[in-house]
Structure 1
Amino acid sequence: MATKLPTKFWIYLILGISVFLLIRSYWRHTHPFYQDEAYFKKTLNTLLRPRSPGTPGHSYVREFLLLELKHLGFVTSRREFIDTIAYTNVVGVMNAEAKRFLLASCHYDSKVLPTGDNYVSATDGGVPCAMLLNMAKSLEPYLRNDFLDRPDIGLVLVFFDGHESMDIEDETNSLNGSRRFTDVETIPLNSIEVAIAINLIGAPDAIYMAHYENTYKLHERLADIEEELRSAGQLSKCHKLFHKLKDYNADIEDDHYSFFAESVPVLHLIPHTFPAVSHTEKDNLKNLHWPTVQNMNAIFTTFVYDYLKKHVHPISFGEESAEYESLQIP
């Protein structure tokens, strides 16, 4: 004979479902955008090819980035320079006349490996590039309408070239694109509110910690967004990515270094440890941890929307902490 479930069980079940539906409804109302996974996968497949400077793959990806940014409504430019060889930074700007900018960046070139030419550098540049374009695609209705022509804040997407050293034996000649960007001030450095650098995304078991005190509250907001998305049922089943932990003495050298050296506040989105496949031909589509990639897409897109939507006054990044509370909807 079947055991009858107590009335309290059904009451709690109904209440739980109701709360979940309310949270999901509120989240969808306050964040009116969706993740186009088909677009992301198509973009990633286009990017995942050997793309060291001077190769056909590099030229193809460079032109693809420029074309996609233009289609998404950004004013685009190619910033060419010579540093032993020719490099090209790809830059997209929205609201070019704004007083301040949120800058998000990654690198699109791949490393030359001594083992051969099948290295597609998925976590190391590939996924981050696709993430930036996916964010712009997901937010396109907002960026082309409510956000367009705002005088207080603009959005800059930068795809750096020359991140990897072309010399297999010498790793020191790297980060050429980001160094060039800050040297010539492609965007006036004093107008950049915060520079975000993204790299090494898509490995399993990756976790993310804060690397700089003055942008800790931005990192904290990423962790909160992850929890909010999970509560609203908007994330794939995956381990917790963003932890409210401070790891200020173990940052990894990346394209944000040039900005940090010029006192531009930086936020570095990179896992606590290198992916096991780093700088090997196993860093490919097959070995990506898809739940991590999906959740990083959702969290980052929501973070950018949150930042831009709530931006009213310039944010002051003091030595101790960012005044993130100044991001308020009037």
Structure 2
Amino acid sequence: MFIFVVLSLVSLLSLGSTYSTLSDETLKRLPSPGDDFNIKTGALLAPILRPRVSGTEGSAAVLQHFVDFFTKNLPEWTLEIHNSSSTTPTSGGREVPFRNLIATRDPPGSSSGEVGRLALVAHYDSKLTPKGFIGATDSAAPCAMLLHMARSIDAALTSMWAARATHGLDALEEAKGVQILLLDGEEAFQSWTDTDSLYGARALAADWEYAYHTAGSTYRTPLDSIELFVLLDLLGAVSPRVPSYFKTTHWAYKNMADIEHRLRELGLFKSSPNHPARMAKRKNKKPRTEPHFLTEAKKVDEAFLGGFVQDDHVPFMARGVDILHIIPTPFPRVWHEIDDDGENLDMNTVEDWTRLVTAFASEWMGLEGFFNSATSRAIHEDKSEFEIP
């Protein structure tokens, strides 16, 4: 009973805040993907671990996997397929289709132009060469991370918005939504150029720039609605080091780094040399140096020299969207090699990234106090269909 009262009080206090730090207990309760990330049979990850070059049968199958996941498990999310097409250097003049999936969860009763959104992004296509390339870090694993994140926060979002309504708070006050963009055509077909890369991202950013909301809306376009664009790429290899690329979003990087530090302190990072399971097997129980994924939390303004990695964020950044790019430097050893497959994923690292991204999204959306063991992994039974155009 005491725990219930405390959580209820925290919930009420967080209703009026824009960002709420997750408690230690909530961090501990965030669900693990478990068997869903099994590379052979996992419901989330295994279907993505296949060649999925844009315009191919593999690409269509993976897109259908995403659609099925949302329609069967998360019916409150609105799905949209953004279609475009382009010739490529290898298509012989044929138009190749590119299909982005946009999954959105906004507060009930809100209109699109009144909601600022956290956009979490990964590309789902794989590279044409080498033949049979899987792209597990690039970017099957990041896509699976986002599916798990959506499922993990869904019930808490419902609880938070219901609590706001119960307490008579304006639906548009602090209106926040979350959006997952699974983008097609990031990879170059021949060699990386401004025109042979980022096919889906370029088309979507260009279309959204002029997709005006109704007159008088708080946000003019879907681009304006994106408060932060968090792009995940090349994640899943052991010992990643992710710099802070942009001074304008270093505050968000530091927030994520703070969460990482807390997760490590709580013994919740499986890849940590000081994880309790590893410590128990060592004769020398003395803690080892704790590495971090996010290595530049203390970076000062003068150290930002303007360099960044070309990726799906570029067309959005060029149009004024704030970017948090989560990509390691240096790239994983398997980058663009045939052995970037499921067998070479470090699953502890994959799970750690998943927990970190889920916690970051939860704090951004102000979900402290709205999780519990019964609802954090709630699976809806709605069987409505979403047809891919």
Match for residue 321 of structure 1? none
Tell me how far 1:67 sits from its aligned partner. 1.8
2:383 matched to which residue of 1?
A: none
The alignment's C-alpha RMSD in Å is: 2.2
Q: Aligned pair 1:275/2:332, yes or no?
A: yes
Whole-Å separation in 2 of the counterparts to 1:263 and 1:190: 8
Report Cα offsets for 1:307-327 as digits up to 9, x if no partner: 10179xxxxxxxxxxxxxxxx
Moved segments of 4+, more than 6 Å: none
1:33 maps to 2:27: no
Larger mean CA deviation between 169-178 and 99-108 belongs to 169-178
* Alpha-carbon distance in 1 for matches of 2:123, 2:228: 17
Q: Tell me, which stretches of 5 or more residues in structure 1 are unaligned?
A: 1-24, 312-330
Residue 380 of structure 2 corresponds to: none
Amino acid at match of 1:77: E
> Aligned match of 1:258 in 315, 318, 327?
315
Query: Which residue of the partner structure matches residue 78 of structure 2?
Result: 75
1:299 Cα shift? 0.8
Equivalent in 224, 240, 248 of residue 214 of structure 1: 248
Q: 1:32-85: per-residue Cα shift (whole Å, max 9, x none)?
A: 532232223311111000000122111100111122123323110111111221
Partner of 2:146: 132
User: What pairs with 1:285-296 in structure 2 (closer than 5 Å)?
Assistant: 285-296=342-353
Name the CA distance, whole Å, in 2 between partners of 1:147 and 1:122.
36
- Residues 160 and 367 of structure 2 are in contact (CA less than 8 Å); yes or no, is this contact kept in structure 1? no
Residues 1:146 and 2:203 aligned together: no
Superposed, which structure 2 residues align to 1:307-326 within 5 Å?
307-309=364-366
2:232 aligned residue = 198
Offset at residue 196 of structure 1 (A): 1.0
Task: Give the conservation status (yes or no) of the 8 Å contact 1:209–1:247.
Answer: no
Contact 2:157 2:367 in 1 (8 A): no
Q: What do the CA deviations read for 1:13-46 (whole angstroms, capped 9, x no partner)?
A: xxxxxxxxxxxx9512477532232223311111
Give the residue type in structure 2 aligned to 1:87.
F
| Post-superposition offset of 1:198 | 0.8
SS at match of 2:366: helix
- What SS does the corresponding residue of 2:179 show, helix, strand or coil? strand
1:242 aligns with 2:294: yes
Secondary structure of 1:229 counterpart: helix
1:248–1:127 CA distance, 2 compared to 1 (3 A):
farther
Q: Which amino acid aligns with 1:111?
A: K
> Does 2:111 match 1:90?
no
Q: Counterpart in 1 of 2:264?
A: 230
Instruction: Tell me the number of residue pairs that the alignment of Structure 1 and Structure 2 aligns.
Output: 284
- Alignment partner of 1:178 is 2:211: no
Please state whether the residue corresponding to 2:84 is helix, strand or coil.
Answer: strand
Kept in 1: contact 2:243–2:294 (CA 8 A) = yes
Please state how far the C-alpha of 1:181 moved relative to its aligned partner. Answer: 1.2
Q: Deviations over 1:195-227 (max 9, x none)?
A: 111100012221111111111011011111011
SS of 1:132's partner is helix
- Higher mean C-alpha displacement, 39-48 vs 211-220: 39-48
Shift of 1:144: 3.1
Structure-1 residue corresponding to 2:63:
62
Alpha-carbon deviations, 1:86-133, whole Å to 9, x = none? 1111110111634211111110000100x42x2110001101101110
Contact 1:212-1:248 within 8 A present in 2 as well: no
Deviation digits for residues 165-198 of structure 1, max 9, x if unmatched? 22x2564411011111111106621111111111
Correspondence list, 1:99-138, <5 A: 99-113=115-129, 115-116=130-131, 118-138=132-152
2:63·2:101 contact (CA, 8 Å) conserved in 1? yes
Aligned counterparts of 2:341 and 2:202: Cα–Cα separation in 1: 28
- For residue 248 of structure 1, report the CA deviation from its aligned partner: 4.6
Structure 1 residue aligned with 2:382: none
Q: Which amino acid aligns with 1:256?
A: H
Tell me if structure 2 keeps the 8 A contact 1:66–1:77.
Answer: no
Instruction: Write the distance in 2 (CA, Å) between the matches of 1:218 and 1:287.
Output: 30
Q: Which has the higher contact order (CA 8 A, sep 6+)?
A: 2
Aligned partners of 2:82, 2:204: CA distance in 1, in Å? 9
SS in 2 for 1:162: coil
Q: Which residue of 2 aligns with 1:164?
A: 187
Report the AA paired with residue 298 of structure 1: R
- SS of the residue aligned with 1:159? strand
TM-score (norm 1): 0.80
> Given that residues 40 and 134 in structure 1 are in contact (C-alpha distance below 8 angstroms), is that contact kept between their aligned partners in structure 2?
no
> Among the aligned pairs, what percent are the same residue?
27
Q: Is the CA contact 1:110–1:164 (under 8 Å) kept in the aligned structure 2?
A: yes
